[in-house]
Chains A and B, each alone.
Chain A
């Protein structure tokens, strides 16, 4: 079962620069939440605080509470946090020296799974969920880099879900893909949301409108508006949201 994420009074710094200014959000379980906003508004920083990646940067600092269900993520080992919260990045980043199979199996092996049968089963299940199994089942030993960009991104999604996380963070997951691959990733997001709490950062307004149940508009490190996606894209409350989504600024 996926779990909701509760964020309270979350602040993040790069050195002395305050990038997130007291963010409060409740991200519902088994739903897709889109984070939109102009470049530099703090949306990537926000999701990197959810899986504690932000604090790995030199000089970066975080304050506030992030709970997954009842668990305080800032009181858990960061390695465990990243196992519970998978992440997919803008550019597909498969391990270039590893095969398709080993790209998926690596996280499981690091988690202590070495039984060949169990690994095969988990790799197949992950690739099935990422809608990639049919395309790669006969070439699992080939290098992951032999796949197309769209396939590599779905491989990265399969890799993220192989360790059975509860949350999937996606930072502009389709911005480097062609329209067909983009739609496949979007369909995948729709299918995966029953199993995972999904948070997706996107610059593509139509993509947010298509895939997200809830949408948050960030500006200057603050949440300007957070509401169901239909409301945000048909009748937003705040003029700044309206101006951004209609392309009047940003």
Chain B
């Protein structure tokens, strides 16, 4: 019987199978079980307000993991996430509200259709890199939003469309808590998929493309195929997040998917940590909760200076920007790297170097 507190020290792996194990030690299995248990227990001790906020965090995490597959794993920058969220949301709205089909059909379809749209807008990635690709994806943002707000007969134009919460049989996910569980389950599947993706041939090809695409091509990786695939896989999760968000807020409208949203998602993965699944989640939670935290801070200050409310509200934007700049300067590795450092610190204590 191995002690569950035993940690790996050194590399004693003797086979590739050993090396590929997702949960190498019993300790790791216990840790994962504890984390999942904790996440599932949140609604028991958190208030309705916090469950609502955490649901938003969970949904953003799914989208951020999606974007990280593209930007963090494959190194293709995209500023079109906002619009892809919109494609997911609108697809689900059209399938459930207009065509009257069930949410359980529309959710995967929203992912698939967003994947196709994402793949199409990923085509320029073969020829374009870096800044040029960023502008090409920005075009996706503009084009998609233009279509959504003008194609009134299908999308309802700027007024948007209404959706309803999903249901199974007679049970409807109308409460915050039930929707939280629904989102968490989908997030868990996403995390499992993204973590495993890295262990496959496709995942390794993504990393190779990111590190040096010419070298990857020489090794026999079909650049075109894998770049478009990365766009499609990434957009699939963004689309799922969009559909979940749409059914959560019960409305989709073009103003919900502006360029600001795209930038916010990019900020999530930058602050969280590029190429890290844990980082995507930490970043999504951070970016979603930061305005709330700042808002609460303003509320506390306003108690003493009641006249300063509008000034401080404007200051919130400023603080938001400042935090992002500080992160980029002091910790480009993101929250995931900070977490790693803390872990290392305790692991090596008192003999850290």
> Real complex partners, A and B?
no
Instruction: Tell me the B residues contacting A by CB distance below 8 Å.
Output: none
